[in-house]
Amino acid sequence: MTAEITTEELQNDHDYILPVYVKPDFVIERGEGAYLFDTKGRRYLDYTSGIAVNALGYGDPEVSQVIAEQATKLIHISNLYHNGPAGTLARLLIERSPAFAKVFFSNSGAEAIEGALKFARRYARDHFGEGKTNIIAFDGSFHGRTMGAVAVTAREKYRDPFMPVMPGVRFAGYNDIASLEVAMADDVCAILIEPIQGEGGLRTADTAFLKAARDLCDRYGALLIFDEIQCGMGRTGSFWAHETSGVAPDILTVAKPLAGGLPIGAILMSQAVADTIHAGDHGTTFGGNPLVTAVGSVVVRRIGDPAFLSHVREVADYLDESLQDLAATHPGRILELRGRGLMRGIRVNGSAAAVREAALEHGLLVVTAGEDVLRLLPPLIIEQQQVDEAIAILQRALGVLA
Ligand SMILES: *Cc1c(COP(=O)(O)O)cnc(C)c1O
Protein backbone atom coordinates (compact mmCIF):
# COMPACT_ATOMS: atom_id res chain seq x y z
CA MET A 1 0.00 0.00 0.00
CA THR A 2 2.91 2.39 0.49
CA ALA A 3 2.88 3.93 -2.92
CA GLU A 4 5.95 3.61 -5.02
CA ILE A 5 5.32 6.63 -7.21
CA THR A 6 5.85 5.61 -10.80
CA THR A 7 3.47 7.38 -13.17
CA GLU A 8 2.55 11.01 -13.60
CA GLU A 9 -1.06 10.39 -12.51
CA LEU A 10 0.10 8.86 -9.24
CA GLN A 11 2.55 11.70 -8.73
CA ASN A 12 -0.22 14.30 -9.19
CA ASP A 13 -2.50 12.49 -6.78
CA HIS A 14 0.31 12.17 -4.26
CA ASP A 15 1.37 15.81 -4.59
CA TYR A 16 -1.98 17.58 -4.74
CA ILE A 17 -4.89 15.52 -3.39
CA LEU A 18 -5.63 15.70 0.32
CA PRO A 19 -4.67 12.22 1.52
CA VAL A 20 -7.81 11.39 3.52
CA TYR A 21 -7.99 8.06 1.68
CA VAL A 22 -5.18 5.50 1.59
CA LYS A 23 -5.07 4.13 -1.96
CA PRO A 24 -3.16 1.29 -3.60
CA ASP A 25 -0.49 2.34 -6.10
CA PHE A 26 -2.18 1.93 -9.46
CA VAL A 27 -4.47 4.16 -11.49
CA ILE A 28 -7.76 2.82 -12.75
CA GLU A 29 -8.48 3.79 -16.33
CA ARG A 30 -11.64 2.07 -17.48
CA GLY A 31 -14.32 -0.42 -16.58
CA GLU A 32 -16.41 -3.05 -18.31
CA GLY A 33 -19.24 -4.94 -16.63
CA ALA A 34 -17.93 -6.14 -13.28
CA TYR A 35 -14.26 -5.51 -14.16
CA LEU A 36 -11.90 -2.56 -13.84
CA PHE A 37 -8.63 -2.11 -15.75
CA ASP A 38 -5.65 -0.05 -14.63
CA THR A 39 -3.33 2.00 -16.82
CA LYS A 40 -1.01 -1.01 -17.12
CA GLY A 41 -3.86 -3.16 -18.44
CA ARG A 42 -4.23 -5.24 -15.29
CA ARG A 43 -7.78 -6.50 -14.70
CA TYR A 44 -9.63 -6.46 -11.36
CA LEU A 45 -12.93 -8.10 -10.48
CA ASP A 46 -14.77 -5.33 -8.65
CA TYR A 47 -16.64 -6.29 -5.49
CA THR A 48 -16.81 -2.65 -4.36
CA SER A 49 -18.93 -1.06 -7.13
CA GLY A 50 -17.54 2.33 -6.17
CA ILE A 51 -19.04 1.65 -2.71
CA ALA A 52 -22.43 0.30 -3.80
CA VAL A 53 -22.81 2.92 -6.53
CA ASN A 54 -22.27 1.07 -9.80
CA ALA A 55 -25.24 -1.28 -9.57
CA LEU A 56 -25.38 -1.67 -13.36
CA GLY A 57 -21.63 -2.25 -13.61
CA TYR A 58 -19.24 -0.30 -15.81
CA GLY A 59 -19.78 0.86 -19.36
CA ASP A 60 -23.53 0.28 -19.43
CA PRO A 61 -24.51 1.38 -22.97
CA GLU A 62 -27.92 2.80 -21.99
CA VAL A 63 -26.42 4.89 -19.20
CA SER A 64 -23.69 6.24 -21.50
CA GLN A 65 -26.21 7.02 -24.21
CA VAL A 66 -28.59 8.91 -21.92
CA ILE A 67 -25.69 10.91 -20.49
CA ALA A 68 -24.54 11.85 -24.00
CA GLU A 69 -28.03 12.76 -25.22
CA GLN A 70 -29.04 14.74 -22.15
CA ALA A 71 -25.66 16.52 -22.02
CA THR A 72 -26.21 17.89 -25.49
CA LYS A 73 -29.72 19.12 -24.54
CA LEU A 74 -29.43 20.50 -21.03
CA ILE A 75 -27.19 19.82 -18.03
CA HIS A 76 -28.22 22.31 -15.39
CA ILE A 77 -30.70 25.15 -14.86
CA SER A 78 -31.11 25.24 -11.01
CA ASN A 79 -34.39 24.70 -9.20
CA LEU A 80 -35.71 28.11 -10.21
CA TYR A 81 -37.28 26.41 -13.25
CA HIS A 82 -38.97 23.14 -14.10
CA ASN A 83 -37.07 20.44 -15.94
CA GLY A 84 -38.63 17.27 -17.34
CA PRO A 85 -36.19 14.55 -16.16
CA ALA A 86 -36.45 15.46 -12.44
CA GLY A 87 -40.23 15.10 -12.47
CA THR A 88 -40.03 11.79 -14.29
CA LEU A 89 -37.53 10.34 -11.82
CA ALA A 90 -39.62 11.56 -8.86
CA ARG A 91 -42.71 9.89 -10.34
CA LEU A 92 -40.86 6.61 -10.93
CA LEU A 93 -39.60 6.56 -7.34
CA ILE A 94 -42.99 7.36 -5.81
CA GLU A 95 -44.82 4.84 -8.03
CA ARG A 96 -42.54 2.14 -6.62
CA SER A 97 -42.96 3.21 -3.01
CA PRO A 98 -46.55 3.46 -1.75
CA ALA A 99 -45.61 4.94 1.65
CA PHE A 100 -44.24 8.11 0.09
CA ALA A 101 -45.78 11.07 -1.70
CA LYS A 102 -42.97 13.54 -2.47
CA VAL A 103 -39.25 13.57 -3.29
CA PHE A 104 -36.48 16.09 -2.63
CA PHE A 105 -33.32 15.63 -4.71
CA SER A 106 -29.89 16.36 -3.25
CA ASN A 107 -26.35 15.72 -4.50
CA SER A 108 -25.06 13.12 -2.07
CA GLY A 109 -26.02 10.77 0.71
CA ALA A 110 -24.89 13.04 3.53
CA GLU A 111 -26.96 15.85 2.08
CA ALA A 112 -30.02 13.59 1.96
CA ILE A 113 -29.46 12.80 5.65
CA GLU A 114 -29.12 16.49 6.50
CA GLY A 115 -32.41 17.21 4.74
CA ALA A 116 -34.15 14.31 6.45
CA LEU A 117 -33.03 15.57 9.88
CA LYS A 118 -34.23 19.09 9.04
CA PHE A 119 -37.60 17.79 7.84
CA ALA A 120 -38.03 15.73 11.03
CA ARG A 121 -37.37 18.76 13.21
CA ARG A 122 -39.64 20.90 11.08
CA TYR A 123 -42.45 18.33 11.29
CA ALA A 124 -42.12 18.08 15.08
CA ARG A 125 -42.14 21.85 15.50
CA ASP A 126 -45.26 22.20 13.35
CA HIS A 127 -47.14 19.49 15.21
CA PHE A 128 -45.82 19.74 18.77
CA GLY A 129 -44.10 23.13 19.16
CA GLU A 130 -40.52 23.71 20.33
CA GLY A 131 -38.46 21.19 22.29
CA LYS A 132 -39.13 18.02 20.30
CA THR A 133 -35.77 18.05 18.56
CA ASN A 134 -33.81 14.94 19.56
CA ILE A 135 -32.81 12.18 17.19
CA ILE A 136 -32.15 8.57 18.11
CA ALA A 137 -29.41 6.84 16.11
CA PHE A 138 -27.66 3.51 16.77
CA ASP A 139 -24.33 1.96 17.59
CA GLY A 140 -22.49 0.97 14.42
CA SER A 141 -24.32 3.59 12.36
CA PHE A 142 -22.82 5.54 9.48
CA HIS A 143 -24.75 8.38 7.87
CA GLY A 144 -22.11 10.59 6.23
CA ARG A 145 -19.47 13.22 6.91
CA THR A 146 -21.26 16.57 7.26
CA MET A 147 -21.91 18.08 10.71
CA GLY A 148 -25.43 16.70 11.09
CA ALA A 149 -24.58 13.36 9.50
CA VAL A 150 -21.48 12.80 11.69
CA ALA A 151 -23.57 13.70 14.72
CA VAL A 152 -25.79 10.66 14.03
CA THR A 153 -22.78 8.47 13.11
CA ALA A 154 -21.69 6.24 15.98
CA ARG A 155 -17.97 5.91 15.40
CA GLU A 156 -16.13 8.43 17.61
CA LYS A 157 -13.25 8.59 15.14
CA TYR A 158 -15.51 10.24 12.58
CA ARG A 159 -17.12 12.63 15.06
CA ASP A 160 -14.95 13.59 18.01
CA PRO A 161 -12.20 15.53 16.16
CA PHE A 162 -14.90 17.88 14.86
CA MET A 163 -16.83 18.58 18.06
CA PRO A 164 -19.11 20.36 18.66
CA VAL A 165 -21.27 18.70 16.02
CA MET A 166 -25.08 18.98 15.81
CA PRO A 167 -26.51 18.56 19.32
CA GLY A 168 -29.59 16.54 20.20
CA VAL A 169 -28.50 13.01 19.29
CA ARG A 170 -28.94 9.96 21.48
CA PHE A 171 -27.54 6.51 20.60
CA ALA A 172 -29.30 3.22 21.33
CA GLY A 173 -28.23 -0.37 20.65
CA TYR A 174 -28.86 -1.67 17.13
CA ASN A 175 -31.39 -4.52 17.27
CA ASP A 176 -31.74 -3.78 20.99
CA ILE A 177 -35.41 -2.99 21.56
CA ALA A 178 -34.97 -2.50 25.31
CA SER A 179 -32.32 0.18 24.86
CA LEU A 180 -34.43 1.88 22.19
CA GLU A 181 -37.36 2.00 24.63
CA VAL A 182 -35.10 3.59 27.24
CA ALA A 183 -33.84 6.22 24.77
CA MET A 184 -37.34 7.07 23.48
CA ALA A 185 -39.05 10.08 25.03
CA ASP A 186 -41.41 12.95 24.23
CA ASP A 187 -38.48 15.13 23.14
CA VAL A 188 -37.55 12.75 20.29
CA CYS A 189 -38.52 13.86 16.77
CA ALA A 190 -37.02 10.96 14.81
CA ILE A 191 -35.51 7.48 14.94
CA LEU A 192 -32.89 6.94 12.21
CA ILE A 193 -32.07 3.37 11.15
CA GLU A 194 -30.03 1.69 8.42
CA PRO A 195 -32.01 -1.51 7.62
CA ILE A 196 -28.58 -3.04 6.91
CA GLN A 197 -25.57 -1.24 8.32
CA GLY A 198 -22.90 -0.54 5.70
CA GLU A 199 -19.72 1.05 7.02
CA GLY A 200 -20.62 -0.11 10.55
CA GLY A 201 -20.21 -3.82 9.81
CA LEU A 202 -23.09 -5.23 7.74
CA ARG A 203 -25.45 -6.04 10.58
CA THR A 204 -29.06 -6.54 9.47
CA ALA A 205 -31.98 -5.07 11.40
CA ASP A 206 -34.42 -7.67 12.77
CA THR A 207 -38.01 -7.23 11.66
CA ALA A 208 -39.05 -7.10 15.33
CA PHE A 209 -36.62 -4.22 15.91
CA LEU A 210 -37.99 -2.24 12.94
CA LYS A 211 -41.56 -2.90 14.11
CA ALA A 212 -40.70 -1.74 17.63
CA ALA A 213 -39.19 1.45 16.22
CA ARG A 214 -42.33 2.03 14.14
CA ASP A 215 -44.58 1.51 17.18
CA LEU A 216 -42.53 3.84 19.35
CA CYS A 217 -42.59 6.54 16.67
CA ASP A 218 -46.38 6.23 16.40
CA ARG A 219 -46.79 6.36 20.16
CA TYR A 220 -44.56 9.43 20.59
CA GLY A 221 -45.44 11.34 17.41
CA ALA A 222 -41.89 10.93 16.06
CA LEU A 223 -40.85 10.12 12.50
CA LEU A 224 -39.18 6.89 11.45
CA ILE A 225 -36.33 7.48 8.99
CA PHE A 226 -34.69 4.62 7.11
CA ASP A 227 -31.30 5.27 5.54
CA GLU A 228 -31.13 3.07 2.43
CA ILE A 229 -28.30 5.02 0.84
CA GLN A 230 -26.20 1.85 0.68
CA CYS A 231 -28.65 -1.03 1.09
CA GLY A 232 -31.45 0.31 -1.11
CA MET A 233 -32.34 -0.08 -4.78
CA GLY A 234 -32.14 -3.76 -5.50
CA ARG A 235 -29.03 -4.64 -3.54
CA THR A 236 -30.91 -7.05 -1.28
CA GLY A 237 -33.07 -8.48 -4.07
CA SER A 238 -36.11 -6.30 -3.37
CA PHE A 239 -36.30 -2.71 -4.59
CA TRP A 240 -35.99 -1.30 -1.05
CA ALA A 241 -34.25 -3.30 1.65
CA HIS A 242 -37.02 -2.59 4.17
CA GLU A 243 -39.81 -3.92 1.90
CA THR A 244 -39.49 -7.48 3.16
CA SER A 245 -40.02 -6.35 6.79
CA GLY A 246 -43.44 -4.89 6.09
CA VAL A 247 -42.46 -1.81 8.13
CA ALA A 248 -42.79 1.52 6.32
CA PRO A 249 -40.82 4.59 7.40
CA ASP A 250 -42.02 8.21 7.13
CA ILE A 251 -38.81 9.28 5.39
CA LEU A 252 -36.37 7.28 3.26
CA THR A 253 -32.92 8.47 2.22
CA VAL A 254 -31.41 7.15 -1.01
CA ALA A 255 -28.24 8.01 -2.90
CA LYS A 256 -25.34 5.80 -3.95
CA PRO A 257 -26.68 3.75 -6.91
CA LEU A 258 -29.48 6.11 -7.93
CA ALA A 259 -27.84 7.82 -10.90
CA GLY A 260 -25.45 5.23 -12.32
CA GLY A 261 -22.36 6.88 -10.83
CA LEU A 262 -23.36 10.52 -11.18
CA PRO A 263 -23.68 12.30 -7.82
CA ILE A 264 -27.23 12.31 -6.45
CA GLY A 265 -29.23 11.86 -3.27
CA ALA A 266 -32.97 11.75 -2.65
CA ILE A 267 -35.29 12.09 0.30
CA LEU A 268 -38.64 10.30 -0.10
CA MET A 269 -41.32 11.36 2.38
CA SER A 270 -44.91 10.72 3.31
CA GLN A 271 -47.62 13.27 2.51
CA ALA A 272 -47.81 14.21 6.21
CA VAL A 273 -44.12 15.17 6.21
CA ALA A 274 -44.36 16.96 2.87
CA ASP A 275 -47.30 19.01 4.21
CA THR A 276 -45.03 20.67 6.77
CA ILE A 277 -42.30 21.77 4.32
CA HIS A 278 -42.99 24.94 2.36
CA ALA A 279 -41.39 27.05 -0.36
CA GLY A 280 -38.06 28.37 0.85
CA ASP A 281 -37.66 25.91 3.76
CA HIS A 282 -34.90 23.91 2.09
CA GLY A 283 -32.97 24.00 -1.16
CA THR A 284 -29.98 23.07 -3.31
CA THR A 285 -28.34 24.52 -6.41
CA PHE A 286 -27.44 21.30 -8.23
CA GLY A 287 -29.96 18.85 -6.75
CA GLY A 288 -32.30 17.30 -9.31
CA ASN A 289 -30.47 18.59 -12.34
CA PRO A 290 -31.67 17.19 -15.66
CA LEU A 291 -28.48 15.27 -16.49
CA VAL A 292 -28.32 13.37 -13.23
CA THR A 293 -32.05 12.71 -12.99
CA ALA A 294 -32.27 11.51 -16.63
CA VAL A 295 -29.76 8.81 -15.71
CA GLY A 296 -31.63 8.15 -12.47
CA SER A 297 -34.73 7.19 -14.43
CA VAL A 298 -32.75 4.65 -16.44
CA VAL A 299 -31.40 3.12 -13.24
CA VAL A 300 -34.79 2.99 -11.48
CA ARG A 301 -36.47 1.42 -14.51
CA ARG A 302 -33.75 -1.17 -14.96
CA ILE A 303 -33.42 -2.15 -11.29
CA GLY A 304 -37.19 -2.04 -10.81
CA ASP A 305 -37.71 -4.62 -13.57
CA PRO A 306 -38.92 -7.83 -11.85
CA ALA A 307 -36.55 -9.89 -14.04
CA PHE A 308 -33.59 -7.79 -12.85
CA LEU A 309 -34.56 -8.22 -9.19
CA SER A 310 -35.03 -11.95 -9.63
CA HIS A 311 -31.55 -12.14 -11.17
CA VAL A 312 -30.19 -10.35 -8.08
CA ARG A 313 -31.94 -12.84 -5.79
CA GLU A 314 -30.63 -15.81 -7.77
CA VAL A 315 -27.03 -14.71 -7.86
CA ALA A 316 -27.28 -13.60 -4.22
CA ASP A 317 -28.47 -17.08 -3.22
CA TYR A 318 -25.54 -18.54 -5.10
CA LEU A 319 -23.16 -16.13 -3.36
CA ASP A 320 -24.69 -17.09 -0.02
CA GLU A 321 -24.13 -20.81 -0.63
CA SER A 322 -20.61 -20.15 -1.84
CA LEU A 323 -19.81 -18.03 1.23
CA GLN A 324 -21.14 -20.75 3.52
CA ASP A 325 -18.87 -23.28 1.81
CA LEU A 326 -15.97 -20.85 2.12
CA ALA A 327 -16.69 -20.38 5.82
CA ALA A 328 -16.86 -24.15 6.29
CA THR A 329 -13.37 -24.55 4.83
CA HIS A 330 -11.95 -21.74 6.99
CA PRO A 331 -13.61 -22.29 10.38
CA GLY A 332 -10.84 -20.55 12.35
CA ARG A 333 -10.59 -17.62 9.96
CA ILE A 334 -14.22 -16.78 9.17
CA LEU A 335 -16.17 -16.07 12.34
CA GLU A 336 -19.48 -14.92 10.89
CA LEU A 337 -21.28 -14.14 7.64
CA ARG A 338 -23.40 -11.01 7.66
CA GLY A 339 -25.69 -8.98 5.45
CA ARG A 340 -28.21 -9.94 2.78
CA GLY A 341 -28.45 -10.13 -0.99
CA LEU A 342 -25.41 -8.63 -2.70
CA MET A 343 -24.44 -6.67 0.41
CA ARG A 344 -22.43 -9.17 2.43
CA GLY A 345 -19.97 -9.04 5.28
CA ILE A 346 -17.39 -11.61 6.30
CA ARG A 347 -16.20 -11.17 9.88
CA VAL A 348 -12.71 -12.57 10.03
CA ASN A 349 -10.48 -13.62 12.90
CA GLY A 350 -7.83 -10.96 12.34
CA SER A 351 -7.29 -7.99 10.08
CA ALA A 352 -9.85 -7.49 7.32
CA ALA A 353 -7.43 -5.02 5.68
CA ALA A 354 -4.81 -7.78 5.38
CA VAL A 355 -7.30 -10.00 3.53
CA ARG A 356 -8.32 -7.05 1.34
CA GLU A 357 -4.65 -6.52 0.39
CA ALA A 358 -4.17 -10.19 -0.40
CA ALA A 359 -7.34 -10.25 -2.53
CA LEU A 360 -6.08 -7.21 -4.42
CA GLU A 361 -2.82 -9.05 -5.19
CA HIS A 362 -4.96 -11.73 -6.82
CA GLY A 363 -7.11 -9.26 -8.74
CA LEU A 364 -10.21 -8.87 -6.56
CA LEU A 365 -11.32 -5.53 -5.11
CA VAL A 366 -13.24 -5.65 -1.82
CA VAL A 367 -13.94 -3.06 0.90
CA THR A 368 -13.65 -3.38 4.66
CA ALA A 369 -16.23 -2.32 7.25
CA GLY A 370 -14.37 -1.67 10.49
CA GLU A 371 -11.33 -3.67 11.64
CA ASP A 372 -12.52 -7.22 11.14
CA VAL A 373 -15.27 -7.24 8.51
CA LEU A 374 -14.73 -7.63 4.77
CA ARG A 375 -17.53 -6.05 2.77
CA LEU A 376 -18.68 -7.45 -0.58
CA LEU A 377 -20.61 -5.03 -2.80
CA PRO A 378 -20.47 -6.39 -6.35
CA PRO A 379 -22.38 -4.74 -9.18
CA LEU A 380 -25.90 -6.19 -9.26
CA ILE A 381 -25.28 -7.50 -12.78
CA ILE A 382 -22.70 -10.12 -11.73
CA GLU A 383 -23.16 -13.70 -12.88
CA GLN A 384 -22.44 -16.97 -11.07
CA GLN A 385 -19.09 -17.24 -12.80
CA GLN A 386 -18.00 -13.96 -11.19
CA VAL A 387 -19.07 -15.35 -7.82
CA ASP A 388 -16.88 -18.41 -8.43
CA GLU A 389 -14.00 -16.16 -9.43
CA ALA A 390 -14.31 -14.03 -6.29
CA ILE A 391 -14.65 -17.03 -3.99
CA ALA A 392 -11.56 -18.67 -5.51
CA ILE A 393 -9.56 -15.52 -4.83
CA LEU A 394 -10.92 -15.14 -1.28
CA GLN A 395 -10.07 -18.79 -0.70
CA ARG A 396 -6.39 -17.93 -1.31
CA ALA A 397 -6.48 -14.46 0.27
CA LEU A 398 -7.77 -15.82 3.59
CA GLY A 399 -4.44 -17.63 3.85
CA VAL A 400 -2.89 -14.40 5.18
CA LEU A 401 -4.76 -14.97 8.43
CA ALA A 402 -3.11 -17.26 10.98
C1 LIG B 1 -22.39 6.40 1.99
C2 LIG B 1 -23.45 6.54 3.00
C3 LIG B 1 -23.90 7.80 3.43
C4 LIG B 1 -23.24 9.08 2.96
O5 LIG B 1 -23.32 9.24 1.58
P6 LIG B 1 -22.30 10.24 0.83
O7 LIG B 1 -22.82 10.28 -0.58
O8 LIG B 1 -20.94 9.66 0.94
O9 LIG B 1 -22.40 11.56 1.50
C10 LIG B 1 -24.95 7.84 4.31
N11 LIG B 1 -25.55 6.72 4.76
C12 LIG B 1 -25.14 5.50 4.37
C13 LIG B 1 -25.86 4.30 4.89
C14 LIG B 1 -24.08 5.37 3.49
O15 LIG B 1 -23.66 4.15 3.13
Report the alpha-carbon distance of residue 152 to residue 136 in Å, rounded. Answer: 8
- At residue 6, the pLDDT reads 66
The answer to whether residue 3 scores a pLDDT higher than 60 is no
The answer to whether residue 5 scores a pLDDT higher than 80 is no
Are 278 and 340 in the same domain? no
Q: What is the mean pLDDT of residues 85-90?
A: 98
Confidence of residue 7 (pLDDT cuts 50, 70, 90): confident
| CATH number (domain holding residue 392) | 3.90.1150.10
Q: Which ligand 1 atom minimizes the distance to the CA of 230?
A: 15
Are 205 and 316 in the same domain? no
In a domain, 340, yes or no: yes
Are 189 and 300 in the same domain? yes
Domain count for the chain, please give it: 2
Ligand 1 in reach of 259 Cβ (< 6 A): no
Ligand 1 in reach of 85 Cβ (< 6 A): no
Report the alpha-carbon distance of residue 243 to residue 8 in Å, rounded. Answer: 48
Are 117 and 234 in the same domain? yes
Ligand 1 in reach of 114 Cβ (< 6 A): no
Are 132 and 179 in the same domain? yes
Residue 185: CB partners within 8 Å, gap ≥ 6? 134, 220
What share of the chain in percent tops pLDDT 70?
99
Distance 377 CA to ligand 1 centre (A): 14
Ligand 1 in reach of 229 Cβ (< 6 A): yes
Are 321 and 211 in the same domain? no
Confidence of residue 256 (pLDDT cuts 50, 70, 90): very high
Are 252 and 386 in the same domain? no
The answer to whether residue 1 scores a pLDDT higher than 60 is no
Residue 365: CB partners within 8 Å, gap ≥ 6? 36, 44, 45, 46, 47, 48, 359
Are 160 and 210 in the same domain? yes
Are 157 and 92 in the same domain? yes
Are 286 and 311 in the same domain? no
Report the alpha-carbon distance of residue 193 to residue 154 in Å, rounded. Answer: 12
Q: What is the mean pLDDT of residues 358-371?
A: 97
> How do residues 180-229 score in pLDDT, each as one tens digit?
999 999 999 999 999 999 999 999 999 999 999 999 999 999 999 999 99
What pTM does this model have? 0.97
The answer to whether residue 19 scores a pLDDT higher than 70 is yes
What is the span of the domain harbouring residue 311?
2-61+306-400
What share of the chain in percent tops pLDDT 90?
96
Are 247 and 151 in the same domain? yes
Q: Half-sphere exposure of 208 toward its Cβ, with a 13 Å CA cutoff? A: 4
Ligand 1 in reach of 226 Cβ (< 6 A): no
Are 287 and 324 in the same domain? no
Confidence of residue 75 (pLDDT cuts 50, 70, 90): very high
- At residue 402, the pLDDT reads 87
Domain final position from 278, 304, 330: 304
Q: Which ligand 1 atom minimizes the distance to the CA of 146?
A: 9
Ligand 1 in reach of 366 Cβ (< 6 A): no
Lateral strand order in the sheet of 265-269: 102-106, 265-269, 251-254, 223-227, 188-193, 134-138, 169-172
- At residue 147, the pLDDT reads 97
